[in-house]
């Protein structure tokens, strides 16, 4: 396969590139040059938002293009139209955020969608992803478009900070606020499982939308945090704290305490983030590795870095502020 990845140097794009190289595919990466591309690819530099920024894509033909863009849909449209005559098929890595709020627990690909426009400039994330989908469909048509609607993505190369925050906090040791109940179910996709499924789907000629995330209840917040303690070898003590206590202190799910959303106290939010219907992707061969493997490998990657974990500038930093942590721990200092 001749694969073109738009991006390809960070997180999802990088995972797709690495998986494709392992299969012996010919991989071309088009990116802005802010991060080094993996070895073994054809390296094209350009900025799709700059005048003339797509010049490096003026020539060439590929079997498939994978686009992970999450900003202005108009940029997806321009690029898709440029490539549609020279690329057989397009994969747009989208998001379950494209479903209208609030989606019912177990929602599948037929659920109502947010409004979006392929011509839009900077718009909120959900509208951006839906606009990107529409841009791809406009240029490639439904039969040549695969829409990968991912859920929560974790794993090595993460540049959003969710699992890295937990690992780094637990590695520091002491008492750690653990938001309960510990059996709160979580649903996520390891970035490498997302990449492998996407390439399998390309080889199988799949088209249309697929929710790509683990089954609901793939793990729990307790299993995730226990895995963080085990992976880091930390002497940290998980202080399990009832959800109502966490919320009453002003700590926010998902942002202050990444990944966690209390099922009873925030049912709509939990259904949207951890209650996605994935029967279609499972029928198409989706498999998900255990949480301990995702956590272990993410920690190994973090330890391999020369500096702090990467952080996307367009995403807010996550994590529990020290003052809130102290309040939830009852003012006790860390041991």
Predicted confidence at residue 331, as pLDDT, reads: 53
Q: How confident is the model over 45-56, as a mean pLDDT?
A: 96
Would you state the structure tokens that stand for residue 313, as one six-digit string? 């500038």
22 and 42 in a single domain? The answer is: yes
Percentage, residues of the chain above pLDDT 70: 99
320 and 176 in a single domain? The answer is: yes
Q: Is residue 211 part of a domain?
A: no
Does 124 score more than 60 pLDDT? yes
Mean residue pLDDT of the chain comes to 96
What are 14-28's pLDDT values in tens digits? 999 999 999 999 999
Q: Which residue range is the domain that position 320 belongs to?
A: 155-187+216-276+290-328
Report how far Cα 317 is from the mean position of its chain's Cα atoms. Answer: 15
| CATH number where 174 lies | 3.90.25
Residue 334: pLDDT band (50, 70, 90) is: very low
Does 303 score more than 70 pLDDT? yes
98 and 228 in a single domain? The answer is: no
Predicted confidence at residue 332, as pLDDT, reads: 45
Residue (of 253, 317, 314, 276) closest to 125 by Cα position: 314
140 and 256 in a single domain? The answer is: no
Does 314 score more than 90 pLDDT? no
Q: Is residue 193 part of a domain?
A: no
Q: How confident is the model over 127-141, as a mean pLDDT?
A: 98
Q: Is residue 334 part of a domain?
A: no
Residue (of 134, 114, 25, 115) closest to 69 by Cα position: 134
Q: Is residue 8 part of a domain?
A: yes
Report how far Cα 202 is from the mean position of its chain's Cα atoms. Answer: 19
128 and 106 in a single domain? The answer is: yes
């Amino acid at each position: 396969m001749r694969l073109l990845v738009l991006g390809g140097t960070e997180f999802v794009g990088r995972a797709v590139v690495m998986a494709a190289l392992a299969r012996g595919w010919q991989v071309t990466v088009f990116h802005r040059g802010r991060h080094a591309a993996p070895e073994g690819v054809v390296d094209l530099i350009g900025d799709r938002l700059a005048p003339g920024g797509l010049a490096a894509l003026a020539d060439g033909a590929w079997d498939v293009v994978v686009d992970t863009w999450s900003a202005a849909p108009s940029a997806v449209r321009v690029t898709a139209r440029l490539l549609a005559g020279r690329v057989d098929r397009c994969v747009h890595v989208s998001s379950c955020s494209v479903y209208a709020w609030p989606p019912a627990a177990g929602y599948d690909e037929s659920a109502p969608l947010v409004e979006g426009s392929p011509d839009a400039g900077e718009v909120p994330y959900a509208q951006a992803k839906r606009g990107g989908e529409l841009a791809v469909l406009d240029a490639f048509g439904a039969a040549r478009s695969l829409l990968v609607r991912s859920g929560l993505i974790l794993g090595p190369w993460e540049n959003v900070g969710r699992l890295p925050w937990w690992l780094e906090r637990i590695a520091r040791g002491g008492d750690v606020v653990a938001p309960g109940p510990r059996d709160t179910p979580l649903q996520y996709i390891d970035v490498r499982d997302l990449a492998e499924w996407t390439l399998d789907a390309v080889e199988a000629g799949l088209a249309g939308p697929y929710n790509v995330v683990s089954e609901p209840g793939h793990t729990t917040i307790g299993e995730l945090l226990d895995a963080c303690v085990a992976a880091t070898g930390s002497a940290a003590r998980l202080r399990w704290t009832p959800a109502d206590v966490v919320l009453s202190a002003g700590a926010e799910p998902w942002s202050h305490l990444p990944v966690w959303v209390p099922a009873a106290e925030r049912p709509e939010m939990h259904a949207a983030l951890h209650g996605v219907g994935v029967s279609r992707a499972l029928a198409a061969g989706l498999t998900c590795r255990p949480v301990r493997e995702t956590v272990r490998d993410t920690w190994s990657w973090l330890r391999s870095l020369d500096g702090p974990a990467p952080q996307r500038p367009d995403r807010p930093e996550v994590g529990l502020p020290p003052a809130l942590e102290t309040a939830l721990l009852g003012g006790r200092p860390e041991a």
